[in-house]
Structures are given as structure tokens and as C-alpha cells.
Amino acid sequence: MRKRYVVIEGKTPEISVQQARTLLQSIDLSDPIGLRDRAILAILAYTSSRAGAVARLRRGDFSDAGDHQWMLRFVDKGGKSREIPVRHDLQHMIAVYIEGAGLQKASKETPLFRAAIGKTGRLATNAIHVNDICRMMKRRLKHASLPERLSPHSFRVAVITDLLDQGVALEDVQHLAGHADPRTTRLYDRRNRKVTRNIVERISI
């Protein structure tokens, strides 16, 4: 009987806090494409959402829940939906993008993030595709002189590791990440790698 192979850590590379900040700060905000890209990357960084869920966002999915709290409603794998509170800096980035893209009065079903029209700096009417988000991030990483092996999923690793490192309960992080099983959440936890790295540096050979 074959031994069962158990994955104890995911293979997705983690983006560091400094790398994420550098990436966001490197974006030229002089046209709607830059405003769009910053908003997309910030959502990935501050909600731990999947790129596919971001691509599916509609104008009505960004809504005012009252008491100065805005929410994002994501549709995840299997059609499951969940709402995540939007922190104030992210709210500002999304609002600036909406204004720059002329989406203030758009219908609720209008794609929140639209595809680009070539290299014109203008947006089309159709929604951005998840593959376009991945390619966009690669271009932005290259422009910022950051490792191009990073991907939208790298933000999920960073968020989950950071929150667990701060002592946030696993079940709360699991809910944020949209995982049905806490074991899946643990695959994104890179705290053990950090501990191991500290230990190996002390070897006296």
C-alpha cells in the first residue's frame, strides 16, 4: 500500500509587507487604468480574496452598510457569497477609482473592474478577466523591480500568516479567507518557515 502524501505547506510564494507597499506605491495614478490596478491589488492585499472573486465584482457589491462602514460582497468558488468589511484606506482607493472610471451612477450589475482598451489608458465596458488580473500583477511587479514569481495568491499567504502571527483566531482567519476547512487555511501559514529560518542561521558549522 502506498504511503499517503500529505501537504503541510502550500507552494505559493508569500509577498512581504514591504513588497506589497512598494508595489502599491509604484503605480502611476494619472489614468483610470492605474487607479483600477491599485484598487484591485489593494483589495487582494486587504481582504485575502481570490483574483477570480475580484474579477466578478459588480458595482453593487461595493456598498455602504451604514455607520461609516463599507462592505465588499464576493462570490467565491461554488457560488458561495460572503461580505467583508472594507478598511478606510481601501475604501478611499476604490472610491477614487470609481470616480476616475465614471462609475458613480453605474447600475448595480455593471462590472466594478473593467478591461483595458489596448494601451489607450481607457477602460472598456466588459469586465476584466481573472487572467488579465494575473498578467497585470506581473507587469506591475516587473515595473516595481519585485520578484515576478509572486502572484495574486501571494497576498492570501501574506494576510493569513500575518493575522495568525498577531494571534487572530484560526476560525476568524478561516472565515476571512473563505475556506471551508481550517486545514486549508493552515496551508497558507508560513510562520513555521520563519522559525525554521531563524534556527538554521544559528548552526555553528
Quick check: is 54 in a domain?
A: yes
Domain of residue 174, CATH code = 1.10.443.10
3 state DSSP class of 129: coil
The verdict on residue 4 lying in a domain is no
Structural domain includes residue 3 = no
Answer yes or no: is 7 within a domain: no
Give the global pTM: 0.80
Whether residue 203 lies inside any domain: the answer is no
What is the domain count for the chain?
Answer: 1
Q: Residue 145, Cα to own-chain centre: how many angstroms?
A: 19
The kind and range of the H/E element at 164 are: helix 152-165
Alpha-carbon dihedral sign for residues 13, 18, 21, 27? negative
- Cβ(23)–Cβ(41) under 8 Å? yes
| Residue 37 domain flag | yes
Please write the tens of the pLDDT for every residue from 117-168: 988 889 999 999 999 999 999 999 999 999 999 999 899 888 887 787 778 7
Tell me whether residue 80 is in a domain: yes
Which residues form the domain of 50?
Answer: 17-197
Which backbone phi and psi does 74 adopt, to 5 degrees?
A: -105, 145
Per residue in 5-49, pLDDT (tens digit) is 333 345 778 898 899 999 999 999 999 999 999 999 999 998 888
Domain membership of residue 141 (yes or no) is yes
